[in-house]
Amino acid sequence: MADSKDANVPVIDLHNISKIYGHGEAEVRAMDGVSLSIAKGEFVAIMGPSGSGKSTAMNMIGCLDRPTNGDYLFNGVHVGNLTKDQRAILRRNYLGFVFQGFNLLPRTSALDNVELPLIYKGVPAAERRAQALDALAKVGLKGREHHDPSELSGGQQQRAAIARALVGSPQVILADEPTGNLDTKLSLEIMELLKLLNERDHITIVMVTHEEDMATYAQRVIWMVDGRVERDGPPAEVFDHERHSA
Amino acid sequence: MIWETVRLAIQAIYRNALRSILTVLGVVIGVGAVIAMVTVGQGSSDQVTADVAKLGTNVLMVMPGAGQMGPGNNSVSAALDAKDVEALIDQLSSVRTAAPYNATSLNAVFGTEDTRTSVAGTDTRYLDVVDWPIVLGRGFLPTEESSGKAVCIIGETVRQELFGNTNPIGEKIRLKNVSCEIIGLFEAKGASSFGSDQDDIVLMPIKAFQRRVTGSTDITMIYVAAASNVSTDRTLVDIEALMRERRRISDGEEDDFNVRDMKQMASMLTGITDVLTGLLSAVAAVSLLVGGIGIMNIMLVSVTERTREIGIRLAIGATANQVLLQFLVEAIVLSMIGGIVGILLGLGLAAVASNVMAIPFSPDLAIVAIAFLFSAAVGVIFGYFPARRAARLDPIEALRHQ
Ligand SMILES: Nc1ncnc2c1ncn2[C@@H]1O[C@H](COP(=O)(O)OP(=O)(O)O)[C@@H](O)[C@H]1O
Ligand SMILES: [Mg+2]
């Protein structure tokens, strides 16, 4: 459906996107005329102060939301024209999600959690199991397949969540503050893992983070303020500018 | 996909084991109650039918009193007497034999033992009518009957109460102020469908009973055995005609007596049982409905509690229908489990109750199947609304929940 044969078409292409909550006095422009495009294989970090619209942008990119104004093309397909179910199918086929709070199903083994997206895709049981085991091995959770989330450390839970995002062979992994609940050492391990997936498997990664240390893993930083893209470029350049303006 | 959904549902039910148990309790109780009621009801109907067959379908009873059978209906009408018995036998070819039968409840005492029992006055012909063998001793002799001698034949229960397993023949028991010699012991019969113990009985010659117990020559009931070559209905008509003539009831006047056959007794009794079963089953069905509302309630709570889970499922690519199906199947599986447990519980209760009540255990496959389908339907009906609510959630809102 959203597979473009043309390698030059960006995976993610936002044209003047606005997302407005509320009316009149209470109106909030969570995104205010955002235009940006992300090419296949990029590793992008979205940064900015709290409330600047980063999560809103991620939900938009992740096809969980629809813009108030503007066009979003995913692989050249107008997401704004898709129904709720069509967007669900697009998500299951092309996108993987990693959340700050891991969001694994409680009292459900790592393996069952990772198999979940494949169940919705209708992958047969045996194949599903093999793919899930493979994804868990990739994130270094071999031997932990049958543990519940409560029996895993924070870092291990986030690895399981990455395995779940990874299992359907997505084009894009979207991670909203994936290291927000982890200490520095574990955060760096998770970043190494994302970097590996980006470099080896050519998965496009879009990540929201507060920390420069994590953002330096990306090739590109998008700095948002008040629902607008204020700066967009390589990490060093963006940080340098922010330091000078601060 | 559907099997996958069922598997997921079972997983989710298992993950919330305690809540699941509480959820289905209503359905378990509802289905269990319906099954137990219907099974016990069926068993007692079967028992009545079997009892009547045992007693003989050719047995009729004549009682004074007008109108339908019931307590206190013989207070105004003239009693029967011994001549009526003889007339029935002599004048009707459709009557094989007949016997008078007066009964009351008395204490029977032997030594230090005593027991409340049913004492009846009758004659040898009664043993013929109801076809009841004597296993020890003998029946009444003609001389004993004509002289009204105080001799008696007892049932197995009376024997057990007063004598245990020892031989009671020749012993004397006291009934009110009558000392009565035991000459025979009846074969054990067991409980009747009336709920009474048929072996809890003492029979004595009717003359002895009239003279020493009631002090009146009235007869309160006549047992009649129809001749083998005629129908009971025919015999009934004959008896009615003869009795009207004997009691000088003119045309157009109502009978002041009652003739009943065992078929009528049976249908009346099964009728009562059926009405009772129906009423209790209706109550039980209401509890099943309440059980269904319980499922809906808990499923709604469950949807709220699992909002985040639903958000995750939607984010990773579940369609609204897949979520709807999951919650619907969960409700159906839950209530079917409740149904199965309820059926087993109901059958178990019915088995125990049947045993205690000494009636046959008569499980009805059709009722079991209906109860099962009904519990599945409860799941569909009461699971749909919560499931639809889950499916309509917005993934972003759901993920942000709590
Ligand atoms: N569902 C919503 N309803 C109303 N306002 C919202 C909603 N979601 C986000 N906002 C507002 O939009 C702005 C951007 O929010 P968000 O994208 O979560 O910021 P960030 O992730 O950068 O902290 C904030 O002011 C927030 O309060
Ligand atoms: Mg945020």
Query: What digits encode the pLDDT tens for the residues A124-156?
Result: 999 999 999 999 999 999 999 999 999 999 999
Q: Is A36 left (phi over 0), alpha (psi -120 to 50) or beta?
A: beta
Confidence of residue A39 (pLDDT cuts 50, 70, 90): very high
**Angstrom distance (rounded) from CA A237 to CA A216:** 11
Confidence of residue A219 (pLDDT cuts 50, 70, 90): very high
The three-class DSSP label of residue B72 is: coil
**Cα dihedral B67, B69, B75, B78 in deg (nearest 10):** 70
The amino acid that residue B211 corresponds to is R
Residue A1 has pLDDT above 60, yes or no: no
**Angstrom distance (rounded) from CA B245 to CA B240:** 9
Q: Is the CB of A130 under 6 A from ligand 1?
A: no
- Distance to chain B for A10, nearest Cα, Å: 22
Mean pLDDT of the region A107-119: 94
**Angstrom distance (rounded) from CA B291 to CA B30:** 7
How far, CA to CA in Å, does B48 sit from each of B43, B53, B263, B271? 9, 9, 10, 11
The three-class DSSP label of residue B178 is: strand
Query: What digits encode the pLDDT tens for the residues A51-101?
Result: 999 999 999 999 999 999 999 999 999 999 999 999 999 999 999 999 999
Residue A118 has pLDDT above 60, yes or no: yes
Q: Which stretches of chain B score pLDDT less than 50?
A: 69-74
Q: What do you get for the CA distance between the two ends of chain A, in Å?
A: 45
Q: Which CATH superfamily is domain A12-104+171-245 in?
A: P-loop containing nucleotide triphosphate hydrolases (3.40.50.300)
**Domain positions in chain B:** 2-51+267-400, 58-261
B17 touches chain A (CB under 8 A): no
In the 8-state DSSP scheme, what is residue B80? Answer: B
Q: Which residue has the tokens 């039968």?
A: B101
Model pLDDT, residue B73: 46
Q: Which residue has the tokens 């010659």?
A: B205
Q: Is the CB of A180 under 6 A from ligand 1?
A: no
- Contacting B residues, span 307-326, partner chain A, CB-CB under 8 Å: 308-309, 311-322
Model pLDDT, residue A204: 97
Model pLDDT, residue B5: 81
Which residue CA neighbors atom 14 of ligand 1 most closely?
A53
Contact A18, A67 (CB under 8 A): yes
Q: Which helix (H) or strand (E) holds B151?
A: strand B151-154
> Buried b vs exposed e over A189-202: b needs ≥16 C-beta within 10 Å?
bbbebbeebbeeee
Q: Which residues surround the ion ligand 2 when the cut-off is CB under 5 Å? A: A 55
Q: ipTM above 0.90?
A: yes
Interface touch B315/A91, C-beta < 8 Å: yes
**Angstrom distance (rounded) from CA A53 to CA A61:** 12
Interhelix angle B2-15/B320-357, nearest 10 degrees? 70
DSSP of B88-119: HHHH-TTEEEEEE-EEEEEEEEETTEEEEEEE
The three-class DSSP label of residue B254 is: coil
The amino acid that residue A144 corresponds to is R
Sign, Cα dihedral of B67, B73, B75, B79 = positive
- Work out the mean pLDDT of chain B and round it to a whole number: 87
Q: Which helix (H) or strand (E) holds A8?
A: none
Which site among B15, B316, B329 would you substitute to test the A interface, given the most A Cβ atoms closer than 10 Å to its Cβ?
Answer: B316
The three-class DSSP label of residue B76 is: coil
Model pLDDT, residue A2: 57
Contact A207, A132 (CB under 8 A): no
